[in-house]
C-alpha cells in the first residue's frame, strides 16, 4: 500500500507538516474510499463525522450538479432559494427561529460567541465571560481555540482572547460556583467529540438549563459533531428535552460540502445589519447540499438506520471487549468510542488501514467510530471482522 520512496508530489507545499499516511485518496463510493493505487478502505472515519450520506451519494451529487448549473454564488447581499429553504427547514427541525449559515463549525461557533457577548453587553451590563468545559472542542479560529478546553493550546499564538472559563465537564456545582456578574453564557457539547466521545448526563444538561434561566445566561449547545442524525436524533439536546438558546451545526450538515449553521431563538438575534456576515455565507451550493442531506435523512429514515447500526456496533464491541481488553464502550448511534488497554491508538489505526479499515484515534488510548449514516448491516459485519483481525495482529 506504500507508494515507495518518492515523496507524494506537492505534499511539501501543504502547510504545517502534519503527519499523514503515504497515500492519496482518489475517490469514494458509499462507505468505501479508494486510494490512487486502487486499494479500497471501509471508511469508519467518515471524513470526521462529515460524510453523512457516505461518498458520491447520487442524491447529493445530483443536488450539487443541478445547483451548480443554476447558481453557485451570488453574494449574501441577495436572497437565494436554497439558503432560504434551508433556513426554514433547520428552524422547523430544531425549534429555533433565526439562522446564520456559514461554512465551518468554527464560523458557526464564532457567531454564537458574538451573540453571547452582545447579550452580555446589551442586557447584562457588559458581562462577557463564557463558561465552558475542560477538554471541550469548538474549533481552530483564535476565538474558538480560546473557547476550546485544551490546556496545550493556552497562549499558543500569543495573548489569548479573554473571557473563557473552563470547568470540569459534568460538574454542575463548579458551573454554579463560577457564575458571577461578568458571566453571559454557558457553552458546551452535549457529547464531547474530540475529547473521545464523552456524553453529558441528562441531569447535567437540565441543570445547566436551570442555571442559565436563573441568571439570565444564554445556553449554547455546540452540536457541530453530534447534530443532524449522528446519534440517532436530529439533535442530542432535543432528544434530552433541553432547549438551548443558541445551537450550532456543521460537519454532517452538508454531507461533505462546507456548510454550517448557528441558530437561535428570535429574542437572541441581537445582530444589527453589518455585525455578522462573510463572503461565502448563505451559500447556494452549500445550502443545496444540506437540503439533499436532510431530505435523505428524512425520506430514508436514516435516523432509524443510525440507531439500528449503532446497536449492532455496540453489540460487536461488547463481544470483542473481553477478548481484547477494550474498555468504556460508549457513545450513541454512529458516534461511538472505546478505550484500548494501552496507548496504542495510532498503531491500531495503521494496522486497521492495512486491513482495509479506516479508524480514528482522537486520544492515545481512544478509538472513535463515525461511519456514514447510511452504513449497512453487512458493512458493519465487515467492520467487525476487520477490527477483530487488526486487534489480533496487535498482539
Q: Which is nearer to ligand PLP, 53 or 316 (CB)?
A: 53
Q: Which is nearer to ligand PLP, 51 or 109 (CB)?
A: 109
| Residues near 178 by beta carbon (within 8 Å), at least 6 away in sequence | 131, 165, 167
Closest residue to ligand PLP in the complex (CB):
105
Nearest to 298 by CA among 376, 370, 228: 228
| Ramachandran region, residue 209 (left: φ > 0; alpha: ψ -120 to 50; beta: rest) | alpha
Stretch that binds ligand PLP, among 55-63, 100-108, 212-220, 382-390 (CB under 6 A): 100-108
- Decide: is 104 part of the binding site for ligand PLP (CB under 6 A): yes
Q: How many residues bind ligand PLP (CB under 6 A)?
A: 15
The answer to whether 222 is a known catalytic residue is yes
Strands (E), the chain: 25-29, 32-35, 40-43, 98-102, 129-133, 164-167, 183-188, 191-192, 198-199, 218-222, 246-249, 260-264, 327-332, 335-339, 357-358, 360-363, 366-369
Among the options 100, 251, 338, 344, which is catalytic? 251
Instruction: Kindly tell me which residue out of 35, 110, 135, 222 binds ligand PLP, with binding defined by CB under 6 A.
Output: 222
In the chain, how many H helices and how many E strands? 12, 17
- x/- letters, 176..215, toward ligand PLP (CB under 6 A): -------------x---xx---------------------
- Decide: is 372 part of the binding site for ligand PLP (CB under 6 A): no
Instruction: Kindly tell me which residue out of 138, 166, 353, 368 binds ligand PLP, with binding defined by CB under 6 A.
Output: 138
CA dihedral of residues 43, 46, 48, 49 (deg, nearest 10): -140
- Decide: is 46 part of the binding site for ligand PLP (CB under 6 A): no
Smallest gap from residue 176 Cβ to ligand PLP (A): 23
Q: Which is nearer to ligand PLP, 124 or 191 (CB)?
A: 191
Rounded Cα distance between 161 and 167, Å, is 17
Q: Which is nearer to ligand PLP, 251 or 386 (CB)?
A: 251
Rounded Cα distance between 147 and 141, Å, is 10
Beta strands 357-358 and 40-43, pairing class:
parallel
Instruction: Kindly tell me which residue out of 28, 46, 47, 105 binds ligand PLP, with binding defined by CB under 6 A.
Output: 105
Residues 242-281 that bind ligand PLP (CB under 6 A): 250-251
- Decide: is 234 part of the binding site for ligand PLP (CB under 6 A): no
CA of 360: how far to CAs of 81, 193, 215, 308, 384, in Å? 37, 12, 39, 22, 15
* Residue-wise DSSP of 342-355: SS-HHHHHHHHHHT
Nearest to 115 by CA among 213, 188, 185, 182: 185
Cβ atoms of residues 219 and 167 within 8 Å: no
Among the options 137, 164, 204, 338, which is catalytic? 137
- Decide: is 224 part of the binding site for ligand PLP (CB under 6 A): yes
Rounded Cα distance between 254 and 267, Å, is 27
Smallest gap from residue 20 Cβ to ligand PLP (A): 17
Stretch that binds ligand PLP, among 60-68, 132-140, 330-338, 346-354 (CB under 6 A): 132-140
DSSP tag of 190 = S
The answer to whether 137 is a known catalytic residue is yes
Smallest gap from residue 193 Cβ to ligand PLP (A): 4
Among the options 35, 222, 245, 339, which is catalytic? 222
Instruction: Kindly tell me which residue out of 139, 163, 244, 372 binds ligand PLP, with binding defined by CB under 6 A.
Output: 139
Residues, the chain, total?
Answer: 395
Catalytic residues: 137, 222, 251
Give the residues lining the site for ligand PLP (CB under 6 A). Answer: 104-106, 109, 137-139, 189, 193-194, 222, 224-225, 250-251
Amino acid at each position: 500500500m506504500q507508494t515507495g520512496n518518492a515523496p507524494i508530489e506537492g505534499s511539501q507545499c501543504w502547510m504545517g507538516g502534519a503527519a499523514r499516511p503515504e497515500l492519496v485518496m482518489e475517490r469514494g463510493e458509499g462507505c468505501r474510499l479508494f486510494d490512487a493505487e486502487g486499494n479500497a478502505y471501509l471508511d469508519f472515519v467518515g471524513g470526521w463525522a462529515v460524510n453523512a450520506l457516505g461518498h458520491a451519494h447520487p442524491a447529493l451529487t445530483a443536488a450539487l450538479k443541478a445547483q451548480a448549473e443554476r447558481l453557485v454564488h451570488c453574494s449574501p447581499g441577495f436572497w437565494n432559494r436554497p439558503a432560504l429553504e434551508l433556513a426554514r427547514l433547520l428552524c422547523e427541525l430544531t425549534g429555533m427561529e433565526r439562522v446564520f449559515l456559514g461554512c465551518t463549525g468554527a464560523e458557526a461557533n464564532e457567531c454564537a460567541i458574538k451573540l453571547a457577548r452582545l447579550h452580555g453587553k446589551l442586557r447584562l451590563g457588559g458581562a462577557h465571560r463564557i463558561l465552558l468545559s475542560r477538554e471541550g472542542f469548538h474549533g481552530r479560529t483564535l476565538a474558538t481555540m480560546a473557547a476550546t478546553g485544551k490546556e496545550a493550546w493556552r497562549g499558543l499564538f500569543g495573548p489569548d482572547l479573554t473571557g473563557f472559563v473552563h470547568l470540569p465537564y459534568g460538574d454542575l456545582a463548579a458551573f454554579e460556583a463560577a457564575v458571577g456578574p461578568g458571566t453571559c453564557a454557558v457553552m458546551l457539547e452535549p457529547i464531547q467529540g474530540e475529547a473521545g466521545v464523552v456524553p453529558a448526563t441528562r441531569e447535567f444538561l437540565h441543570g445547566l438549563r436551570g442555571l442559565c434561566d436563573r441568571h439570565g445566561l444564554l445556553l449554547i449547545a455546540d452540536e457541530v459533531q453530534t447534530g443532524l442524525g449522528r446519534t440517532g436524533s436530529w439533535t442530542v439536546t432535543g432528544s434530552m428535552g433541553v432547549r438551548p438558546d443558541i445551537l450550532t451545526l456543521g460537519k454532517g450538515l452538508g454531507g461533505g460540502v462546507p456548510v454550517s449553521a448557528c441558530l437561535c431563538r428570535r429574542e437572541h438575534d441581537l445582530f444589527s445589519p453589518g455585525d455578522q456576515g462573510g463572503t461565502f455565507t448563505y451559500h447556494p451550493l452549500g445550502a443545496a447540499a444540506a437540503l439533499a442531506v436532510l431530505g435523505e435523512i428524512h425520506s430514508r429514515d436514516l435516523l432509524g438506520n443510525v440507531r439500528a447500526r449503532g446497536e449492532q456496533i455496540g453489540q460487536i464491541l461488547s463481544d470483542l471487549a473481553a477478548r481484547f481488553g477494550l474498555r468504556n464502550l460508549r457513545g450513541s448511534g454512529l458516534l461511538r468510542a472505546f478505550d484500548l488497554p494501552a496507548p496504542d491508538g495510532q498503531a491500531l489505526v495503521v494496522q486497521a488501514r492495512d486491513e482495509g479499515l479506516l479508524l480514528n484515534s482522537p486520544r492515545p488510548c481512544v478509538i472513535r467510530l463515525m461511519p456514514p449514516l447510511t452504513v449497512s448491516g453487512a458493512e458493519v459485519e465487515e467492520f467487525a471482522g476487520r477490527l477483530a483481525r487488526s486487534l489480533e495482529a496487535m498482539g
